[in-house]
Amino acid sequence: MPKEYDLVVLGGGIGGYSGAIKAAKAGLNVALVERDLIGGTCLNRGCIPTKAYLKSAQAIREFKNISEFGIETNYDYKVDFLKIKQRKDKIVQSLRNGVSSLIKMNKIDYFEGEGSVLGTSIFTPKSGSVMIKPDGDADEIILTPKNVLIATGSRPANLPNIKIDEKNILTSNGILELEKLPKSISIIGGGVIGVEWASLLTWMGVKVTIVEFQDRLIINESKKVSAQLKKEFERQGIDMYLSTKVESVVSDDNGAKISADNDGNEIEIESEKVLVAVGRRPNIENIGLEAAGIEFDKRGIKVNEFYQTSAENIYAVGDVIPTLQLAHVAAAESEVAVDKMMKEDIPPIDYDNIPRGIYTYPEIASVGITDGTDGNQDQANHGQFDFKFNGKSMIMGESIGQVEVFSNKKNDDLIGVSIVGPHATDLISEPALGLYLNATPEELGEAVHPHPSLSEAIMEAARDINGNSLNK
């Protein structure tokens, strides 16, 4: 007999395990199915490992600039990349063990194997039963849940004219397995993944070249921020080819060569490695969507504002649906989905309130509308404060960047904040809370901020909208 559950979750990434834990804490009987490593992309091949590498890159940068703080040393440094990788692996394993412990602690049944949703049949009269194919020769397992949550995530995308070998031509998965730094690397793609890898590798001493099809980096951020990152990358010695279409990539024992069209000019770029960082694709294949009558397209599974699919007892969240591909978004979506399963009266997520972070040097973070408009093509009010005038950033020796605050001209509501500079990805939480609470810049500016602190830049930028900044 198939085992019955209140909820079966397909996918053990942050969207999957967050929903499973929330449901279990609410008293539901829950099963979680994962075919690979618990923790998903973010923990194993994304957010966590890359940020561990970025911390090592930061340590190198600080050592190189240590004389600025009155410390002289006769010692040089050597990058032991294998040790850096081992540190990364240790962090990932520790967090993975933590997730496994949470699953056990909340009495969630965990199944290793490939799960798929079944349609109706004489064996599964209700659409939404789940079949699990374990590894090896074990028999298939059938689960019959009241609800299903699909959180199967995504994988690195590729271009049709590039053959990935994970040796010289890498994805964001393969590059994490390198045990030796290349002398040079070309990164195809100037989005978030591409620029983060460019930032950390250049500080580790790798010669980096970025090849981007668009006319600027990080196309989802404002033109001002894109230009600012480009300028800083140029200063750090990173080569960039924008408005460039990659025609082919070939690899041999000596490395890899990109052939590309750079605004009408044929160019060739040679490097030891190539990283393909052109986005990610939803994992929607072989999970039974057609059989269960679930609507989807190449962008992912179609859902309503509470993440219900066209089969109302089947939900989908995270990278497998066409929303922001961010770990914290997947976790938030899964909580809303579980609340909806339990018939809670909840509001949908307002994606304008969700902060975004890019962990380059300098860091970049934003929330809301930051393109200078109010979302209706009307100009927004604008306030700005530069970190070069902030006492804490001077003390830290990190004065690059600024805080920009945007508000609606009609009602003065806060509509967006952009931060470029030290700890931007931490600082953005305050403006995100302000947006969530429907605050005005005046209210942000009236809140007393500790001195000296980086957060004072938010206060000063908010005050600057009305010309009330005391330190500008």
The tens digit of pLDDT for each residue in 267-316 reads 999 999 999 999 999 999 999 999 899 999 999 999 999 999 999 899 99
User: Is it true that domain 3-155+281-341 has CATH number 3.40.50.300?
Assistant: no
Catalytic residue (one of 382, 423, 449, 451): 451
- Is residue 382 within 8 A of residue 365, CB to CB? The reply is no
Lowest-confidence pick of 75-84, 85-94, 190-199, 451-460: 75-84
> Residue 4: what pLDDT?
85
Task: Give CA–CA dist 114/118, Å, rounded.
Answer: 13
Q: What's the pLDDT tens digit per position in 12-45?
A: 999 999 999 999 999 999 999 999 999 999 999 9
Q: What is the rounded average pLDDT for all residues in the chain?
A: 95
Task: Give CA–CA dist 367/403, Å, rounded.
Answer: 12
Residues 6+ apart with CB under 8 A from 361: 57, 58, 61, 199, 203, 232, 236
> Residue 3: what pLDDT?
73
- Is pLDDT at 1 greater than 60 in this prediction? no
When pLDDT is cut at 50, 70 and 90, the band that residue 387 belongs to is: very high
Could you give the percent of the chain with pLDDT greater than 90? 90
CATH class of 169-278: alpha beta
Active site residue 451: yes
> Residue 374: what pLDDT?
84
Residues 6+ apart with CB under 8 A from 297: none
Q: What's the pLDDT tens digit per position in 156-189?
A: 999 999 999 999 999 999 999 999 999 999 999 9
Residues 6+ apart with CB under 8 A from 94: none
The C-alpha R_g of the chain, in whole angstroms, comes to 24
Q: In the chain, which segments carry CATH 3.50.50.60?
A: 3-155+281-341, 169-278
User: Is it true that domain 352-464 has CATH number 3.40.50.1370?
Assistant: no
Task: Give CA–CA dist 418/399, Å, rounded.
Answer: 16
Tokens 């309130």 found at: 353
SS (H, E, C) the chain: CCEEEEEEEECCEHHHHHHHHHHHHCCCCEEEEECCCCEHHHHHHCHHHHHHHHHHHHHHHHHHCHHHHCCCCCCCCCCCHHHHHHHHHHHHHHHHHHHHHHHHHCCCEEEECEEEECCCCCCCCCCCCEEEECCCCCCCEEEEEEEEEECCCEEECCCCCCCCCCCCEECCCHHHHCCCCCCEEEEECCCHHHHHHHHHHHHCCCEEEEECCCCCCCCCCCHHHHHHHHHHHHHCCCEEECCEEEEEEEEECCEEEEEEEECCEEEEEEECEEEECCCEEECCCCCCCCCCCCCEECCEECCCCCCECCCCCEEECHHHCCCCCCHHHHHHHHHHHHHHHCCCCCCCCCHHHCCEEECCCCCEEEEECCCCECCCCCECEEEEEEHHHCHHHHHHCCCCCEEEEEECCCCCCEEEEEEECCCHHHHCHHHHHHHHCCCCHHHHHHCCCCCCCCCHHHHHHHHHCCCCCCCC
Q: What's the pLDDT tens digit per position in 217-272?
A: 999 999 999 999 999 999 999 999 999 999 999 999 889 999 999 988 999 999 99
State mean pLDDT over 416-443: 97
State mean pLDDT over 6-10: 97
> Residue 120: what pLDDT?
72
> Residue 263: what pLDDT?
86
> Residue 170: what pLDDT?
97
- Is pLDDT at 126 greater than 70 in this prediction? no
Q: In the chain, which segments carry CATH 3.30.390.30?
A: 352-464
